Structure 1
Amino acid sequence: MSDGLNDARAIRITEIMTDFRNLQYYLSQLRATPTAEEYYLEGFVLLRNCTTEAQTILAKPFAAAPSSSADTPDKQREQLKGIIADAAVRRFQCQKLYLQAHAGLRWVSTRTSILRGQKPNATHLTALQAADVALRNELLAISDAHVEYTLRNQDAAEGKWLAEDPTLAQIQQMISRR
């Protein structure tokens, strides 16, 4: 028996996919131009990895169980729930990449401020090491729980319907199966 929430589910899919699209757009716009000497520094590697992982997420096929026909409200409900789960996982993954990329961009900005157009030398060493440590600490703070918390808080603040969004444990389980 249908529960009458398929319209709410369809709207939720649109909301999640809009967030996903915005995150993908941001991640596709990342541009860092390191010199040959800087190419393998962790902040620049991080930015390249975020871009590559975002493209990989976008290229993955839809993960929900296919429905032979969505002609009844119950079949539609199950199909919509599957789409919500898949979209929520993709958005979660991109949000995490977004937060990591922001940390990488702050690292690039800090590095640029420290060097002020100069080549790195002994006078910069302590400040550059501090920037590296700050990046590592910031990345450690971007846990799955933090990412899930930021997404749920944002959605709740905007009054979105979250009743069927997957939990963090479900998201982690879906990611591990991929």
Structure 2
Amino acid sequence: MADGLNEARAMRVAELMWDFRNLQHYMTQVKMDVTPEEYYLEGYMMLRACVSEAQAVLASQYANPATHPRGNLEAEKEQLRGVIRDACVRRFQCQKAYLRTLAVQRWIDSRQAILKGQRAHAGLMPHLQALDNQLRAEVAAVTDEHVDYSLRAQDSAQGKWIAEDPPLAVIQQHLHSG
């Protein structure tokens, strides 16, 4: 039965798509200027993986049928719920790639500060290895739970209607089934 919340659902879809668009915009701005010697360093490989993940999310098809409910409020409700679920999953995937990208960007900046335009040499190895370890720890901290919490906290702080956003378990199920 229609519940009068379709306008709120439609607004939520717009909010999710705006967030998704912003994340995609950031991910397309990532610069991957890397020397041949650095190409296979862990941080740069992670960065390429993050950008590829974001591109794959953008390229993936929306699975729900594109039929118009034609004034059927119940059908409209179900269609909006499906779009919210899909948009939440996509935003989650991009947010996870974005947070990992931020960690890599910090690694790149710190690495450049240590190298000061020089090539890596034995005297710098302890500092560079410490950076690599820090990067691994930061990326490991970008768990599904962390991503979900950060998105929900941000949405709540902005007063967004999140009543029908899927829980993390549903997002994970969707990601593992696709």
Same fold, TM-score > 0.5, yes or no: yes
**Residue 44 of structure 1: aligned partner:** 44
How far apart, CA to CA, are the structure 2 residues paired with 1:69 and 1:51? 34
Identity of aligned residues (%): 52
Judged with a 3 Å threshold, the aligned counterparts in structure 2 of structure 1 residues 39 and 67 are, in CA distance, closer, same or farther, namely: closer
Q: Is the 8 A contact 1:67 1:75 kept in 2?
A: no
**Residue 28 of structure 2: aligned partner:** 28
How far apart, CA to CA, are the structure 1 residues paired with 2:66 and 2:141? 39
Q: Is the 8 A contact 1:50 1:97 kept in 2?
A: yes
Q: How does 1:1-178 map to 2 (within 5 A)?
A: 1-64=1-64, 66=65, 68-71=67-70, 72-178=72-178
Q: 2:69 is aligned with what amino acid?
A: A
Judged with a 3 Å threshold, the aligned counterparts in structure 2 of structure 1 residues 68 and 16 are, in CA distance, closer, same or farther, namely: closer
Q: 1:70 is aligned with what amino acid?
A: P
What is the deviation of 1:46? 1.0
Q: Is the 8 A contact 1:23 1:98 kept in 2?
A: yes
Unaligned runs of 5+ in 2: none
How far apart, CA to CA, are the structure 2 residues paired with 1:166 and 1:68? 22
Task: Map Cα deviations across residues 100-138 of structure 1 (whole Å, 9 max, x no partner).
Answer: 000010010111011001111011000000000000000
Task: Map Cα deviations across residues 22-72 of structure 1 (whole Å, 9 max, x no partner).
Answer: 0000001000211100000011111111111111100000023x2644120
The number of equivalent residue pairs is 177
Unaligned runs of 5+ in 1: none
Q: 2:97 is aligned with what amino acid?
A: L
Q: 2:152 is aligned with what amino acid?
A: R
How far apart, CA to CA, are the structure 1 residues paired with 2:138 and 2:66? 42
Q: Is the 8 A contact 1:100 1:139 kept in 2?
A: yes
Which aligned segments of 4 or more residues in structure 1 are displaced greater than 2 angstroms?
none
Q: 2:13 is aligned with what amino acid?
A: I
What's the TM-score, normalizing by structure 1? 0.97
RMSD (CA atoms)? 0.9
